[in-house]
Structure 1
Amino acid sequence: METQSLTIHVKKIEKSKIEQVDFNNLAFGKNYSDHMMYCDYIDGKWQTPQIVPYGPMEFSPSTKVFHYGQAVFEGMKAFKDDAGRVHLFRPEENFKRINKSSERLAIPEFPKDYFFESLETLLKLDHEWVKPGQGNSLYIRPFVIATEEGVAAAPSDAYRFMIITCPSQAYYNKPVKVLFAEKYSRSADGGVGYAKAAGNYGAQFYPTNIAKSKGYDQVIWTDAKTHQYLEEAGTMNIFFRIGDKLLTAPTSDRILDGVTRKSVIQLAKDNGIEVEVAPVEVERIKNAAKAGELKEIFGTGTAATIAKVTGFEHAGDEFTLPKMEVEYSELMKKYLQDIQYNRVEDKNNWLHPIEK
C-alpha cells in the first residue's frame, strides 16, 4: 500500500510486528518500530523523503562513512499522555543541533520542513508504539551518513538522512558509580566535542571499558589540557549539588549542549533552586565531598533522563555520596517528566503535539 503526501513518499508495512514485543521488558535500543524514514542528498539537493518499513539497507564497501566517519546523530523522545495524545519534547532544539553537528562535519543542512513533516508522519504511523505510563517513551534517532562511494580523503558528495524509532524505558535502571578521568579525553579545544558526531562515542568506549573493569559504570571526562576540570560523562551532562546549589560546566566546543541539561537548568531556576554555570574543578568537588558539602551528583540526557550517581573515584580517592531526604535529582526528574507526560502546564512551551 503506497500513498503520496505533499513532500513525503510513504510505503506502509503489511503487518505490524508490535505484538512480538514485550513492552514490560525492553532492553534499550533492541526493538524497533514498524517504519523508518530516509532521504538522500544527490546532485546538491535533498530528494523526496521516503517512509518505508523498518529493515536493512545495502551499501557499498567503499561508502565514505565507513572510511572517514562523516556521521552525526540526535536523540529525541516522544511521550503519550493519559488522554492518548503524543507529544515530542523540544524537537526544535534537536533540529538545530543536528544541523550544527552536520556543519562541523561538512555535511549539508537538512531542511526544517522535511525534518518536522517526516517526524510527524512517522509518529502518526507508529503512534501505537508510543506507550503511556511513567517511564515509557518512544526513543527517536535521527542521523545522517556519507554515502558517496570512493576512498579519496575528501567530503562526500552524497548523504542519507534517516530516522528510526524504538520503544524505551529507563536507560539506567539503577544509580551509577563514576570514575573521574585522569589520562584519556573525550574532546579538545577546536575539536568536535560539541557535535553529536559518531566518532565522539566510538573513541570513548575503550577508556569506559577500563573504568567498567574497575567496577565503575561511566567516566566523567576532564579537560584535555590539564585534567583539572570536570566536563561531561560519556552519555550525559553532569550536575553537582554543593549545599543547596547546583553546579554544572558551561557548554563550549568540547561539551555537548544537552537538551535535558538546559531544561534542568531552567526548571531549577523556575523552582527557586540556585544554579551556577561555571568551570567545575576536580579539587573543588573532592574537597566538598571531604567536608560533607557535596550532596549529589547526577547526569542528564535524553536516554538517561536523570541518572543518580552514588559515588566516584579519582587518583585513588574513593567517595560515597550521602542519601538525602530531599534529592534534587528526584525533584528535577519529577518536574521534567510532569511536563513530558503533559501532567502540568507547559509554561515554557516545550511540547510539540502530534495531531492524529
Structure 2
Amino acid sequence: MSRQRTIQVVHVAVGAIVKDGQVLLAKRALHQHQGGLWEFPGGKVETGETLVQALARELLEELDIQVLSTEALIQIQHDYGDKQVLLDVLRVTDFKGEPKGQEGQPLEWVPLSQLTEYAFPAANTPIVNALTLPRVMAITPSTGSKEHVFQFCVNALDRGAGGIQLRSPQLPFDDITWVYQQLRSLPMASKPVPQACPVWVNSTHLVNAKNQWMHERCQIFKAIHVCSRHFALVPVLLDKSNIDRHKEYTFTASCHNAEQLIQAAQFARAAYLSPVKTTTSHPKSASLGWPTFGRLIAKAHLPVYALGGLKLTDYDTAIAHYAQGIAGISCF
C-alpha cells in the first residue's frame, strides 16, 4: 500500500507597511534566493503564534518597529511540489518607531504610484497589485443618460469609491467616451498626489456583434474590464507575438467560480467575484456567501473584489475575508 505524501505548508506573515501614501520595501541580499530584488518584510509564522503576533515579532526583529494596527490585504498560495507556501499579507496601518535594517538590508520608502517600477520576486506581483488598486469600485448603472451616468460617478467618488467601471450598456460608444473623458479630468482629491480617476471600460463596449475586438476603441481606453464570456478573446488583443503589447493594457475580470478566477489570473490585475449576496438584478442566482467567497479567493492568485448585493457597510466584512474591497452599483 502506497503512503500518501505529506506536503508541508509554510505559513509566512508579510507586512505591507503604509504611511503617507508610501510603502516600505526591503532589498534581498545578493546571496539569497531572488537576491537583489525588493520585497515586503516578514517571516515564518511559528507554532502557537497568531498571524498578527508573528508579523509583530518579525518586524520588531527585522526593522525595530512595534506594530500597532493592521488589516487584511491578500493571501497568496504557491505550490512547489514538496512544499506549499501561504503568504498571509497584512497592511500595517500604524506602528511605533523608525524602521531600521537590523540585518543590514537596505530599506526604501516608495510612493504607491511608483511601486510597479521596482523589481520583485514573481510571488509579490499580487501584493503590488493589491496596494496600487482602489479598495472600492463603482460600476455605472444600466439606465440613464450620459449626464446621469457621469453624475452617478461623481456621487460615488464623493462617497468613497476609488475607481470606476464604465458598464452602462444603454449608452452609445460616443457617450461612454464622453463620460470617460470627463472622469479622467477629475483629480482624485483623496490621493497624496493628485491623479486622474482610474477608469476601466467594460468589454461589452469594445467587442462587436461578431465577437471581435474593436481595436481602435481598445486603444482609446487600454484599461478594460473583461466579461467572463470574453475571456477567450484576451490573447487576441494581447497578440502574444509582441511581448510589449502586454504592457499596454490593464485588465480586470468578472468571475463567478473558481475556474474563472484561475483563468483571470493569467491576464488580469484583479477580479470581481459575484454574487456574494442575493441581488435584485439576478434574484435567481445562488449567492456565494462570505465563507465560500473567502475560500475561493484564497486560491485566486490575484486581488478580488466582492460584488453582488453589497452595501458600503459590508466593506469591513469584505476586508476581513481578504477581499481587495467591494464593487457595486446599488451601494452608491
Structure of higher RCO (CA pairs closer than 8 Å, 6+ residues apart): 1
- Say which structure is richer in helix: 2
Superposition TM-score, scaled by structure 1 size: 0.28
